[in-house]
Structure 1
Amino acid sequence: MARSAWFEIAEEGWARLSAARPLGRLLLEAVQNAFDADAANVAIEIEPDRVVIEDDARAGIADERLVYTLFLSDKPRDPTRRGRMGRGLKELLAAAERAHVETIGTTIVFDGEGRRTETNTRESGTRLELFRAIGDDEREAALDLLRLAIPPRGTSLRVAGRLVRRPRSVLALADCELETVVIDDGVERAAMRPTRVAIYAPRRGERPSLFEMGVPVQPWNVPWHVDVAQRVPLGEGRDAAPERFVLALKATLLEAMVHSYLDRRDLRADWVQDVIARWPVKSGLLDAYVSKVFPRGSVLGGTSRANDRAKQLGAHIVDARTISHGAWLALARVLETSDDYVRRRSSEFGGDEVEPDETQRRFAEAVRWLARRVAGSVVRVRFFARDPSDAGLLEDAVTDVDARAISFNVKGPLRFDDVLDPGTIGVVLHELAHLASVEHDHRFIDRLQLLAGMLAKLLADGGPALATALRRGDPER
């Protein structure tokens, strides 16, 4: 149903709303129009009392109503054209005290008397001349934002006489499925569409930013400029993308770059952690992330006891306190927890129980005697046989604190014929110390030092005879 004259606009309110936008943002509206018109040259000058923006696009502004009719736009449905709301140029004009819009054959003048149209002899392009007071800080901020733009190839952009050079290309990604904005029957709609994403190294002094077809949208914590080659969903102020879009784009970058372009330091960055914690990334990406960030044999931290036992079994603990809950849940898809790791490895390391031979029985008697005399404990001693794991890990001994039992691997390097062999007695004292503390904490260290001291005193007092008796497995004699 056609309708007209439902609404009117309050000029003062519109001007006040427009003037609240930063000058640089307003000027980018004109820049993106020039880019869309395939101008070969675009120039911007900012003086204390006026701004001049000029381009040499062949077409100019075909319909003068596009200059002053709010929300009227000639942007096509194609989402690879910048802008789409029919208000950017009008906001720029409304923020000025006076303005001249000179395009092919027509000049539109805005001043205190209103709006009027005059003819001219211009043959190409458009020139905007805007009059308003501009402070030094406002001017510098606008220049910085305008120089951040990435002009299309074949377009020369000059800002205050300085040529804006394109940044160095790092990588280009094709067919990235991202949300965009299409105009369907005059209505803006969100749609998913494959597009090209270009990654650039920021020019000196620049803050990495997200771009829409060369026009800066917002700074972000990714270390590169990233330019999306289609319309980016924007909020009401058109100076930021929705969080969901930013996160999806970061996830796209991570998936494309994790295998070949990002090293361990890169992958520890906040933006990567944000994706891991908050986006449903694929397991293959998580595997690649884990393989680069964490040492081989890493497990997610669990209970303190399981963490300590996992360390004994050769695992590297990923401290749960250093990652977000979301990241922990994501990593749990590809990493064991220390508790699960300990249960699995303990069953593997349990090995087949072995009936001790005569040498091992004498060794067991020496261990039991040392437990009573040095550690003040009564222990059971058993033997098992277990080959090294696939990772090459071989456990010499295991202590079950609850059962007060110490088990020794007969396939390990222990000298069962000489309990006082330095490597062997060290393992024995280590396991005896675990009777007081299952963790390798200060309590364990203090206990191990005490046991070593007590054994040294015992051997010093007993002399060679005691050492010989221990090696024979008959210390009582």
Structure 2
Amino acid sequence: MKNTAQWFTVDKAGLAAVATRRGTAPLLLEPVQNAWDEEGVTFVKVDLSPINGKPQVTLRVEDDSPDGFRDLADAYTLYKQSYKIGNPEQRGRFNVGEKFLLSVASEANIISTTGSISFGPDGRKLERKKTEAGSTLTATLKMKREELDKSLVLLRSMIPPKGIRTTINGEVLRQRKPIAEDTRTLQTEIKGDEGGFKLTRRKTAISIHKLLEGETPHLYEMGIPVDKLDCPWHVDVAQKVPLSVDRGSVRQAFRLDVERHIAEIMADDVTPEQAQGGWMGTALEAMEDEDAIRSVIKARVGDAVIFNPLSPESNKRASDAGYAVIHGRQFSRAAWEKIKLAGAIVPSSHKFDDGKMKSDPDGIPPVPGDQWTRAMKRLAEYIKQFALGTTGKSVGVKLYNDSGLGFAGLCGGRTISINVAVTKITDQFQVDQLLIHECAHLKVSDHLTNAFYNECCRIGARLRTLEATL
């Protein structure tokens, strides 16, 4: 059996099947990103046109790189280590992009400063023809009109680097001004100590862009769209993004990390509609910026309080005031931890009265009975007669005399308390008005119910038969 120095043989059709799992369109980005990565490039020209009468297109990509195609063998050598692997601010790393593109071509040609190479039915052929600067790739690809249209949309969605004039079928790709920018720490890939890749984290610029008509949100790696996003913007990361070999997807953990940063960066500008997105709920679970958390929650739920099962009146008062009353099931446990840490929403009882007497911090006692004035004694007797005559219940009476206390009257158990410091106890109307309210609590505790309203009405009507007066 004849020996050969090569361990592997690659089947072109099999490689094409792998390369086109996401369609042919993404492969057209490969020569563009390679050109953008080269030092000294000032223009990249892309032409994609149909071939009359055939489901085929001609692709032509030209650049003016001073060094050109450094090694023509890279065009047909799979997984040769890329010279870009050590630079996180260059897009290439796997050195398979050209091979994926060429695998779907029926014929192709590359001419550059180091020579030229052609690919056809009879294989590949190296030639001496070369350029003084730059490279040109020409390829014939199988492609129907529908995919041609999608390919042009994808190519026009690229975000060109500053200083590199990029055209698609003669149309200049315009520079896009981001709506927001920031520097964040993200995962990236660099060359490992013993070759291969190593994941690390480094600071990088993140740019956020509005969508143009017909576009869907994408994650970009230095201007090249690499995966879809759930957030409503394009997000461009200015360093290598951890990608699959076909450059078609990113790790889920990386995507979530990016969307968390985007939520923080855009927190002050996010609309209520954008804040409702499922991506925002997930991002909220990982957000660290407390100001951003508060802004996101404000946009997502507006004025809101947390439902307090121990304070039904506070919940009702909040709802009546136009606040959203948020229940536990509306956010995940992780999101609630962030919300509470940032104080983004507080329990309803923190903002609205619960109808209960607040304990005095100094523990001010009631006025002792032996210190009651004649008017206070008359009031106490009247309260007992009022309660018995209107509700049939006997009550105890406590009288307080401190304007610093937070109540005029209260009912606790079978005791009615009146703060004489804020109540004109000789005013029959004022006293009756207060006692109707407090005596209704002998039967109903919750102010904000029909039962309490009806009990107040019943007691008011019952007063017509009460003979006692102050």
AA aligned to 1:96 is A
* Paired residue secondary structure (2:75): helix
Amino acid at match of 2:307: G
CA contact (8 A) 1:45 1:161 kept: no
Deviation of the 1:243 alpha carbon: 2.3
State the secondary structure of the residue aligned to 1:218: strand
The answer to whether the 8 Å contact 1:35/1:152 transfers is yes
Cα drift, residue 373 of structure 1: 4.2
1:353 equivalent to 2:365? Answer yes
TM-score normalized by structure 2? 0.80
User: Paired residue for 1:475?
Assistant: none
Q: For the Cα contact (< 8 Å) 2:89–2:240, is it kept in 1?
A: yes
Question: In the superposition, relative to structure 1, how do residues 395 and 177 fare at CA in structure 2: closer, same or farther (>3 Å)?
Answer: farther
Distance 2:22 2:271 in 1: 40
Deviation per residue, 1:423-454 (Å, 9 max, x gap): x766654544455554466xx22x13322432
Report the Cα offset of residue 363 of structure 1.
4.6
2:190 corresponding residue in structure 1: 182
For residues 241 and 75 of structure 1, the distance between their equivalents in structure 2, rounded to whole angstroms, comes to: 19
CA distance, structure 2, for counterparts of residue 250 and residue 345 of structure 1: 46
Q: Is the 8 A contact 1:79 1:231 kept in 2?
A: yes
Q: In the alignment, which residue of structure 1 is the partner of 2:457?
A: 453
Looking at structure 2, the residues matched to 325 and 253 of structure 1 have their Cα atoms a distance apart, in angstroms, of 21
> Once the two structures are superposed, what CA deviation does each residue of 1:399-427 show, in whole Å capped at 9, x if it has no partner?
44xx3445455565x55433533xx7666
Alignment CA distance shift 1:237-1:383 (3 Å):
farther
Amino acid of the structure 1 residue aligned with 2:115: T
Task: Find out whether 1:301 has 2:307 as its counterpart.
Answer: yes
Displacement after TM superposition at 1:257 (Å): 4.7
Taking every aligned residue pair, what percent have the same amino acid on both sides? 26
Superposed displacement of residue 191, structure 1: 0.5
Map residues 63-82 of structure 1 onto 2, 5 A cutoff.
Answer: 63-72=71-80, 73-82=82-91
- Structure 2 Cα separation of the partners of residues 426 and 274 of structure 1: 52
1:320 match:
328
CA deviations over 1:92-138 (Å, ceiling 9, x no partner): 11122332223335332222222222232433333322223312322
The 1:302–1:365 alpha-carbon spacing in structure 2 relative to 1, beyond 3 Å, is same
1:344 Cα offset (Å): 12
Q: Which amino acid letter does the alignment assign opposite residue 256 of structure 2?
A: L
> Where does structure 1 lack aligned partners over 5 or more consecutive residues?
473-477
Q: 93-102 or 78-87: which moved more?
A: 93-102
Assess if the C-alpha contact under 8 Å between 1:218 and 1:239 holds in 2. yes
State how far apart, in whole Å, the 2-side matches of 1:387 and 1:262 are: 46
Q: Whole-Å Cα distance in 1 between the matches of residues 9 and 403 of structure 2? A: 86
Q: Distance in 2 between matches of 1:337 and 1:247?
A: 29
TM-score by length of 1: 0.79
Cα 1:206–1:16, aligned 2, differ >3 Å: closer, same or farther? Answer: closer
Q: 2:136 aligns with which of 124, 127, 130?
A: 127
- Report the CA distance shift for 1:417/1:130 in structure 2 as closer, same or farther (over 3 A): farther
Distance in 2 separating the partners of 1:156 and 1:331:
46
Q: Residues 251 and 420 (structure 1 numbering): CA distance in 2 closer, same or farther, change over 3 Å?
A: same
Structure 2 unaligned residues grouped into runs of 5+ = none
- Whole-Å separation in 2 of the counterparts to 1:399 and 1:150: 70
Per-residue CA distance 1:293-313 (angstroms, 9 max, x = gap)? 7788x653342x334356669
1:92 aligns with 2:104: no
SS of equivalent residue, structure 2 residue 105: coil
SS, match of residue 132 in structure 1 = strand
Mapping of residues 105-184 of structure 1, within 5 Å: 106-174=115-183, 176-184=184-192
AA at the equivalent of 2:230: N
Is residue 22–residue 142 contact of structure 1 (8 Å, CA) maintained in 2? no
Asked if the contact 2:13/2:103 (under 8 Å) is kept, the reply is: no
**How many residue pairs were aligned?**
446
- The residue that corresponds to 1:34 in the other structure is 35
Greater Cα shift, 424-433 or 75-84: 424-433
1:77 positional shift: 0.5
What is the SS of the residue equivalent to 2:257? helix
Partner of 1:15: 16
- Which moves more between the two structures, 183-192 or 215-224? 215-224
CA distance in 1, matches of 2:162, 2:84: 21
- Checking the alignment, whether the CA contact within 8 Å between 2:232 and 2:274 is kept in structure 1 is no
Q: CA separation of 1:118/1:355 partners in 2, compared to 1, >3 Å: closer, same or farther?
A: same
Paired position in structure 2 for 1:44: 47
Q: Determine whether 1:241 maps to 2:250.
A: yes
Distance 1:19 1:431, change over 3 A: same
What's the CA shift for 1:26? 0.9
Q: 2:445, 2:452 within 8 Å by CA — same for their partners in 1?
A: no
User: Using the alignment, how far apart are the partners of 1:41 and 1:215 within structure 2?
Assistant: 14
Alpha-carbon distance in structure 2 between the residues aligned to 1:385 and 1:103: 97
> Quick check: 2:204–2:237 contact (8 Å CA) kept in 1?
yes
* Alignment-mate amino acid for residue 27 of structure 2: L
Aligned to 1:195: 204
